[in-house]
Amino acid sequence: MTTTRLQYLLDRYYQQQATPAEEMELMDYVAQQPETASLDSLLQQHWESLSVSDVQYTAATGAPMLKAILGAPQRKAFRLAPVARWAAAATVAGIVAAGFWWHAARNTPPYVQQAAVIKPGSSRAVLTLGNGQTIALDSTGHQQIGASVSQQGGQLLYAGNAGTPQQNTLTTPRGGQFRVTLPDGTEAWLNANSSLTYPTAFSGNQRLVAVQGEVYFAVAKDAARPFQVRVNNGLAIDVLGTEFNVNAYTDEPSINTTLVQGKVNVHLGAASAVVLQPGQQARVADGHLDVLPGVDVEQITAWKNGVFNFEGVDVPGVMRQLSRWYDIEVVYAGAIPQRRFGGEVQRGLQLQQVLVVLEKVGINYKIEGRKLIVLPD
């Protein structure tokens, strides 16, 4: 594509005059570019020559999107998805947002509209001790909690099996996440709106914890004491040393246990049990336990690495993730749009930045306070 042609397409796109064919030509081109330096320079020059009476972005909202979506690592993560052309749309949406940012950073006019910013979740949780005392935790905290427990930023550390065992519960709110190292060395990552109950010291011949919501485990090996996870007071997962993800949100259609490495035994009651191999998922729905082979483990565990992976996810599935991470209410004003997405978005973006991407693939919405209203097609 020549520079003149690219300038023409950008101009048409900015002015919302591009035909579907022109828009797809631009999306396809941008999504296939391995580097962004030349595009960045062209975009800056071109944007500054346009009318900007409808600027909606400021430096504060545009800069993170520029870094996250136009940056080289993020660019490589995007790809064209046949289900919704999500990748190209997301990249072009990032370009538009970056253009807004470039102008606003240089000359923010008095008529720029300042929308209420809904920030992403962060490392925060509440630790409930055995005596009922509660301690608020966040990413900035550094404190000693008793003789064997300490907080180091967004992580809680238990220093071995010390003292008389008591039950502690770590709970993340909507819009929160946290990490804990248990007394046996097992590491657990809690997603938003989740909880993990565990003893301050593992005694006897078993290590037992309880989960609600979503937790990723990297279990320390101990052949003499199997590790067991009880999920929503029903499902049980037995392991020795392995890594796996448990998604047991009550608003999801099923409870899913996905094995990353090692081996786990998942059982529902006394009569139904399965042994998982890496890359398999045990799914419980309507009282039935089934195994799905060959699931996308990277997609399922993307949240732990700070990413939304929406590959093949429908609108309700996307909205459930957004509602928990941004602590918002999602309602549907009419029929739910029927489409599936593809690609990844950083969880560090503000909600409005993610919605720019969704809008570019045909999701119409409006925001009222902390309520996101999804409009019909």
pLDDT score recorded for residue 84: 34
pLDDT score recorded for residue 31: 59
For the chain (377 residues), the mean pLDDT of every run of 10, in chain order, is: 75 69 70 57 57 42 46 32 39 45 37 63 96 94 89 91 83 98 96 97 91 97 93 88 96 96 91 91 93 94 94 94 97 92 85 82 88 92
> Across the chain, which distance is largest between two alpha carbons, in Å?
74
Instruction: Decide if 263 is inside a domain.
Output: yes
Where in the sequence is the domain holding 263, given as residue range(s)?
Answer: 122-299
Distance of CA 362 to the CA centre of its chain: 21
pLDDT score recorded for residue 36: 53
Helix (H, G, I), strand (E, B) or coil at 138: strand
pLDDT score recorded for residue 6: 78
**51 and 98 fall within a common domain:** yes
DSSP secondary structure, 300-337, as one string: HTGGGGTEEE-TT-BHHHHHHHHHHHHT-EEEESSSPP
pLDDT score recorded for residue 241: 85
Q: Which H or E run contains 358?
A: helix 351-360
pLDDT score recorded for residue 162: 61
Count CB neighbours of 122 within 10 A.
16
CB 319 within 8 A of CB 375: no
Distance CA 140, CA 26 (A): 43
**361 and 291 fall within a common domain:** no
Instruction: Decide if 115 is inside a domain.
Output: no
| Statement: the pTM of the whole predicted model exceeds 0.85 | no
pLDDT score recorded for residue 220: 95
Distance CA 42, CA 285 (A): 52
Q: Which residues contact 83 (CB under 8 A, 6 or more apart)?
A: 312, 339, 340, 341, 342
Say which CATH number the domain at 325 has.
3.55.50.30
**293 and 320 fall within a common domain:** no
Instruction: Decide if 113 is inside a domain.
Output: no
The domain total for the chain is 3
Residue 132 CA: distances (Å) to CA of 1, 20, 127, 129, 233: 65, 60, 10, 5, 21
pLDDT score recorded for residue 2: 72
**55 and 20 fall within a common domain:** yes
